[in-house]
Structure 1
């Protein structure tokens, strides 16, 4: 991670995972499961934590929208996509509500914590595997 990436990590109030993220922990994560199972497990993770309130969810779109009402107010969008038989990708976008233009890495920390919880429920296959799975 270059100096510019380290600075950008802290001067934003928004973090998104993506396939080729410079921070390996924020790359799209893949699981050995079907879309519906991973979607339901993710919903359970949000419902079991009193700091999250699910605002809407759509299995068809593979999207869960959540308000975080814990230490800091956050807005979470979780996306679940089946990319191959028995291979599902999960991505997150987290925005921290703050008067400052930055959250000092809080949104990234939330994503990493969510991925840890998902890893406990589903069989993790790897991160940033899109190119391999599309061949």
Structure 2
């Protein structure tokens, strides 16, 4: 039922122990500040995305994209270990679900970020 639910919703988010392995938090060998900068650079380079606000103190960033709204949370867990989580909501007008678009967006964001930062592990694994 969990996999089916990700297709019949307009919102997906990552967390440490998500039942879907592809939606688990990613941890990187970097500082919170450098991770936030890397996410900002990545989003600015992607077509159709624009950073609307950044709170360095809270480690949060809001991004507007084509038909999506993304909130990124960056948390320094320990020195040189930082977690990055995404919350993606699809702006659907006629139907209340996105057929997995929000999940695909998260997967694509992690794939890009994994190329920019040294990946350590996904949530729930070490």
TM-score by length of 1: 0.89
Structure 1 residue runs of 5 or longer lacking an equivalent are none
Quote the offset at 1:16 in angstroms. 0.4
Quote the offset at 1:50 in angstroms. 2.8
Q: Which residue of 1 aligns with 2:100?
A: 105
**Mapping for residues 1-135 of structure 1, pairs under 5 Å:** 4-69=1-66, 73-98=67-92, 99-129=94-124
Quick check: 2:17–2:124 contact (8 Å CA) kept in 1? no
Structure 2 residue runs of 5 or longer lacking an equivalent are none
Quote the offset at 1:62 in angstroms. 0.4
What is the alpha-carbon distance in structure 2 between the residues aligned to residue 110 and residue 50 of structure 1? 13
Could you list the runs of 4 or more consecutive aligned residues of structure 1 that deviate by over 6 angstroms after TM superposition?
none
What is the alpha-carbon distance in structure 1 between the residues aligned to residue 124 and residue 42 of structure 2? 24
Q: After superposing the two structures, state which structure 1 stretch, 46-55 or 117-126, moved more.
A: 46-55
Quick check: 2:8–2:97 contact (8 Å CA) kept in 1? yes
